[in-house]
């Protein structure tokens, strides 16, 4: 069973439907004990970083997620779920994250607006990724995925960078650490490439 974490954010049902479309069962839950039993754990959602972490704490999900990760079970963070993996975020203040990835989450520079670019970064953009990673197996290099975000993660260690994208600046659009994968884009909104990524994850 693929378990999808519900911290109180949105966009969970579309992730569930996409996973079911590629042939797997998926449950949505905010119950910590159910999360602890997950074979594969998906942390999707949208919204502000601080609200995300507050929801995780409210339902006792932080320790549950840690237990699943330490067991070596596959974990996929999507959008805010990826950002939560970092040490802290500067979105509407300073908020602590789960700290699996060394680095911080920061806002796109305002100078992009003066160049005629919009924040949030919304729409299709290419991802250049490490081809030997199993979640990108069978996906064409520099494939396009769908993004909606104003903040992005900045890794301290090169080894944690799985994919990069350019939107006025080069930014990290996918991360990796042991059994953890995080993607800034929304695979559930990214048509065939996104569905293939979800299928690859579920097959880990």
Query: Residue ranges per domain, the chain?
Result: 2-202
Give the E-state strand segments of the chain in sequence order: 2-5, 26-29, 40-43, 75-78, 86-89, 95-96, 101-107, 121-126, 128-129, 144-149, 151-155, 161-167, 169-177, 180-183
Each residue's pLDDT tens digit, 75-114: 999 999 999 999 999 999 999 999 999 999 999 999 999 9
DSSP letter for 37, please. Answer: T
- Classify domain 2-202 at the CATH topology level: Rossmann fold (3.40.50)
Sign of CA dihedral 137, 189, 126, 177: negative
User: In the structure encoding, which two tokens stand for residue 117, read together?
Assistant: 């670019």
Please confirm whether the linkage preceding 20 is cis (ω < 30° from 0).
no
pTM over 0.85: yes
pLDDT band at 42 (very low <50, low <70, confident <90, very high): very high
Each residue's pLDDT tens digit, 55-66: 999 999 999 999
Q: Which of 130, 123, 172 is nearest to 144 (CA)?
A: 123
Q: Is the pLDDT assigned to residue 9 strictly greater than 80?
A: no
Each residue's pLDDT tens digit, 108-162: 999 999 989 999 999 999 999 999 999 999 999 999 999 999 999 999 999 999 9
Residues known to be catalytic: 79, 186, 188
pLDDT band at 45 (very low <50, low <70, confident <90, very high): confident
User: In the structure encoding, which two tokens stand for residue 38, read together?
Assistant: 């997950």
Beta strands 26-29 and 2-5 are parallel
Q: Give the mean pLDDT of the chain.
A: 96
Cα 126 to Cα 130: distance, rounded to the nearest angstrom: 13
Classify burial at 203, counting beta carbons within 10 Å of its beta carbon; exposed 0-12, middle 13-18, buried 19 or more: middle
How much is the pLDDT for 2? 96
Each residue's pLDDT tens digit, 162-173: 999 999 999 999
pLDDT band at 23 (very low <50, low <70, confident <90, very high): very high
Contact present, 31 and 6 (Cβ < 8 Å): no
Q: Is the pLDDT assigned to residue 10 strictly greater than 90?
A: no
> Residues 6 or more apart from 34 whose CB is under 8 A from it?
3, 27
How much is the pLDDT for 46? 83
């Amino acid at each position: 069973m693929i378990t999808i974490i519900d911290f109180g954010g949105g966009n969970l049902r579309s992730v569930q439907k996409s996973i079911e479309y590629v042939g797997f069962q998926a449950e949505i839950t905010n119950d910590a004990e159910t999360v602890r039993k997950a074979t594969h754990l998906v942390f999707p959602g949208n919204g502000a970083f601080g609200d995300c972490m507050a929801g995780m704490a409210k339902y006792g999900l932080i320790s549950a997620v840690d237990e699943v990760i330490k067991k070596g079970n596959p974990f996929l963070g999507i959008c805010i779920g990826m950002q939560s993996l970092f040490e802290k975020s500067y979105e509407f203040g300073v908020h602590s994250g789960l700290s699996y990835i060394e680095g911080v989450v920061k806002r796109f520079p305002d100078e992009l607006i003066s160049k005629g670019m919009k924040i949030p970064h919304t729409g299709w953009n290419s991802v250049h990724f490490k081809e030997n990673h199993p979640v990108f197996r069978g996906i064409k290099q520099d494939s396009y995925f769908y993004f909606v975000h104003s903040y992005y993660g900045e890794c301290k260690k090169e080894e944690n960078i799985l994919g990069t994208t350019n939107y006025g600046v080069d930014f990290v659009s996918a991360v990796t650490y042991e059994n953890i994968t995080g993607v800034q884009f929304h695979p559930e909104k990214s048509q065939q490439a996104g569905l293939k990524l979800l299928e690859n994850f579920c097959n880990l």
